[in-house]
Amino acid sequence: MYHNFNKRYLLLFIFCCLGFTSRAQKSNRENSPYTRFGIGEFRNGVNTVLKGMGSISSAYSNEYNVNTDNPASYADLKLTTYEAAMEGSKRTIFSNGNSYNTGTVTLSYLTIGLPVNKHIGLVLGLRPYTRTYYNSQDSLDMPGLGPSIRGYYGDGGTNFAFVGLAGKIKGFSAGINFGYLFGTTNYSSSLSKQYDTANYFNSAFSKYTRIGDLYYKGGVMYQTNLTKKIGLRVGGTFTTQQNVNATKSEYQIIYNDYSGVTAMDTAVKNENVKGVITLPSTYTLGIQVYNAGKWAAGVDFATSKWSSYRNFGSIDSVVDRTMKIAVGGEYTPNATSIYKYLSRVTYRLGFYYGQDYIELHNTALNYYAVTLGASLPFKRSYDRVHVALELGKRGTESNGLIRENFLKFTVGMSLNDKWFIKRKYD
């Protein structure tokens, strides 16, 4: 009965994943001007469980959930685990006393975790890595041109498809995610006369950057018992500075619009220029104490050296180094309760604070958020529906910049099944 039950869930999981992937490619339209800089906005790739507790992932491990942020945790998997999630977000952008709302619904992650044996775990995963979408206009008075409009537009992003492997010896485990980072981003700007006439030509500049290369992330973890019931985990991850191959195409177009007729001329055309994007080294360290099946609490610290970032040799508006600190925990009143469903629910709370890698007008962009979460169990199984809520702020209105108030809501599912189990009876 249990095996057939999970088979039906697996079919539903596969169809949902196909729908999620298709929709995610069309719905990534959350207008954020800060995504114009650097490589875009980094997506939070941790699973829904961790999002609910401040994304404290460096030292988190669970037998029935896949923590892809620290691949060393794969060695603790006990059952084959399928995970998928969707993320919805809403932002209110504040600038110069004005505000507007923007939002999107998109894929959060797809993951399959496989326990190869008692001490080795294997994971297959796909998740969005960065996103770019901005669409804004400025009015200005250009000398010799008069009232004009300058527009900025960009969209696209990158994704990471990977294979993860981890092994464990006594209390020490180590693992690695190794895969392919890929995607295309379009950056465009235009200058046009506000009141168009046949005597004036407008201009538009577009740059398309296509990324495609191997990428990796490593992790380590150590677990020990403090008492008979209380355990301790210490973990860390590392991503060294990596050069990612990319191809760039640039176009500058001159055009005019008058009486419905559009005339165009390509003034500059550079196609398929090969180069590299240098991504910085990143290191994290975390510690957690826990009572298995009852509660867990921890703290994480992360830092990245963004002064090494280069885009085809160019330096963008980035800081020298970023930092992030997160705290969070989870609590399950009674995981084995038969009659009280709410006692079997796992509740989570967390907080994080950090400095963004973008720096504009000599002003640092900080961000913070409070997080809430819960895991809702199915009857008589390890399967769960997970929900997480993040409520926070990014940026500032000082020095002509913008502030973003954001609300993110993630819904995920983890399904567990037994694979590679020998039959005891024929």
Task: Find out whether 185 and 155 touch, Cβ atoms under 8 Å.
Answer: yes
CB atoms within 10 A of CB 57: 30
Q: Using pLDDT thresholds of 50, 70 and 90, give the confidence band for residue 309.
A: very high
- 11: pLDDT strictly greater than 50: no
- Give me the chain's average pLDDT, please: 86
Q: Is the Cβ–Cβ distance between 90 and 62 less than 8 Å?
A: no
pTM reported for the whole predicted model: 0.88
Convert the pLDDT of each residue in 326-385 to its tens digit.
999 999 999 888 888 999 999 999 999 999 999 998 898 999 999 999 999 987 677 899
115-138, pLDDT tens digit by residue? 998 899 999 999 999 999 988 877
In this structure, what token pair is assigned to residue 374?
A: 């819960």
Cα 156–17–92 angle (5° rounding)?
45
Domain boundaries, the chain: 2-417
27 phi and psi angles, rounded to 5 deg: -110, 5
Which of 145-149, 152-156, 177-181, 256-260 is predicted most confidently? 177-181
Summarised one tens digit per residue, pLDDT across range 196-254 is 555 566 778 889 999 999 999 999 999 999 999 999 999 999 999 999 999 999 988 87
How many angstroms separate the Cα of 7 from the Cα of each of 126, 313, 316, 381?
22, 51, 49, 13
Query: Do residues 195 and 213 make contact, with C-beta atoms less than 8 angstroms apart?
Result: no
Listed residue (354, 369, 234) closest to 298, CA to CA? 234
What is the structure's pLDDT at 2? 43
The CATH superfamily holding the domain 2-417 is Outer membrane protein transport protein (OMPP1/FadL/TodX) (2.40.160.60)
